[in-house]
Amino acid sequence: MKFAIMTLALLPILAGVPAVAQAPQGAPQGAPAGRGAQPPVEIDKTAPTEDFKPSSLNQPGKQYPEVNSQRRVRTQLRAPNAQTVLINMGGVAYPMTKDESGVWTGVTNAQDEGFHYYQLNVDGVSIPDPGTQIFYGSSRWGGAVEVPAHDQDFYALKNVPHGQLREVHYFSKVAKATLQSYVYTPPDYEKGTKRYPVLYLQHGAGEDEHGWGGQGFAGLIMDNLIAEGKAKPFLIVISNSYLVTGGAAAGRGRGPGPAAAPGAGRGPALAGAPGGPGRAGGGRGPMAMTDTPFEHALIEDIIPFIDANFRTLADQRHRGLAGLSMGGMLTHGITLAHLDKFSHIGMFSGGTIAASEIKDMADFKKKVTLLFVSYGSREPGSSAGQASIEALKKEGVNGVSYESPMTAHEWQSWRRSLHEFAQLAFQK
């Protein structure tokens, strides 16, 4: 069995972030957005405002975790024999206190709006909060909390026509295994013979193919945009970037975990990383990931399967690739290597494309309909991303930059990024 292992050394923008696809939070309410590395977080010991409500991600009937108007999170755990219980959220360990009945209660600092992974630590053992649904992120199944956002209407479940998020399975010649993807089909797909453009949309490090449909609300974002007439309908294909090569059983599209380096993503990771076959960068900039097993599977397996089994417009002009964080780095490398396959490029908190990387600018401008780069305002790469897009626009490239206000390397940045990207995609 042949594995290619990715280490976090490939991810400079994520340095020091325990939850790989989510940066530390905890800035007090009203703190300036700022950029760059954040200082150590001072735990807020003031009494919280007592207007807590259960998180929308809780299991049915569960009160905790709950969120208040200050965006602070409170949860409880009954563990009468435990000595120490902590809330681990956004790289910060918040202490919990035990009452006479053995129930531990803890409150976090104010969090950014949106989705946050977290775990409870009981005497040194990390466990999901039993009150939440579970989500795959930070290379584990764990709990999460949703902090209501001022703009959450764009991913709300509304009384509008809805598409479907389908689980599909295909045999990968690259992995020599049957793998899984999710495919979003827009409303009315079942009712006609119309063919649609396709966006291939990738997750971040430590996540998998469940992310965009679950944490990212990709289907609801598209349903609402289509209902409002703000986006053209298109398919979205969401696959797992972590591939096992050499015929290993990949289960439901996910490689076995023991081969992964500490802190790396789920299962064996990607060639192109330091120490692995292929190249990290390879003349395509420090944020590119090239010649990975996923690149080969996408080109050789996934795209042919989707075109054969769904009503697609199966040409370069109607095909795009986008991703968040590591998915953006994959998008960087794959699209520059396969401009004959993709006309739309989206990189969400995953670097940018520099003019110096483009070998034939005239050909790039002819083939690339949209180049979209986004970051959260708290991320250190935001200014550089905007500058690179401005430079490419001067060369005649249709480049767009977007900055998510008051967010960091986290799902609210990426939900907003997809919302903006989708309104620009496949308009011509």
| pLDDT reported for residue 156 | 98
Check if the beta carbon of residue 21 is closer than 8 Å to that of residue 205: yes
| pLDDT reported for residue 44 | 96
User: What φ, ψ does residue 10 adopt, rounded to 5°?
Assistant: -70, -15
Q: Which residues contact 28 (CB under 8 A, 6 or more apart)?
A: 44, 109, 110
| pLDDT reported for residue 41 | 84
Calculate mean pLDDT across residues 196-203.
98
Q: Which of 16-20, 33-37, 293-297, 375-379 has the lowest mean pLDDT?
A: 16-20
Enter the tokens of residue 9: 């050394």
Check if the beta carbon of residue 352 is closer than 8 Å to that of residue 388: yes
The single residue listed with the structure tokens 């299962």 is 267
Spatial distance between the Cα atoms of 361 and 396, rounded to a whole number of angstroms: 9
- Give the bridge partners for 376, in sequence order: 404
> Is residue 245 very low, low, confident or very high in pLDDT (cuts 50, 70, 90)?
low
Per residue in 275-323, pLDDT (tens digit) is 232 333 333 344 578 899 999 999 999 999 999 999 999 999 999 999 9
> Is residue 255 very low, low, confident or very high in pLDDT (cuts 50, 70, 90)?
very low
Which alpha helices (DSSP H) does 118-258 contain, by range? 211-214, 218-227
pLDDT, averaged across the chain: 85
Pairing of strands 370-376, 319-324: unpaired
Spatial distance between the Cα atoms of 33 and 23, rounded to a whole number of angstroms: 14
Check if the beta carbon of residue 280 is closer than 8 Å to that of residue 289: yes
Q: Which residues contact 126 (CB under 8 A, 6 or more apart)?
A: 88, 119, 120, 142
Calculate mean pLDDT across residues 400-407.
97
| Angle between helices 218-227 and 411-424 in degrees, nearest 10 | 40
Q: What's the pTM value of the predicted model, to 2 decimals?
A: 0.85
Q: Element (H or E) spanning 239, and its range? A: strand 235-239
Instruction: Tell me the DSSP string of 99-137.
Output: -TTSEEEEEEEE--SEEEEEEEEETTEEE--TTB--EEE
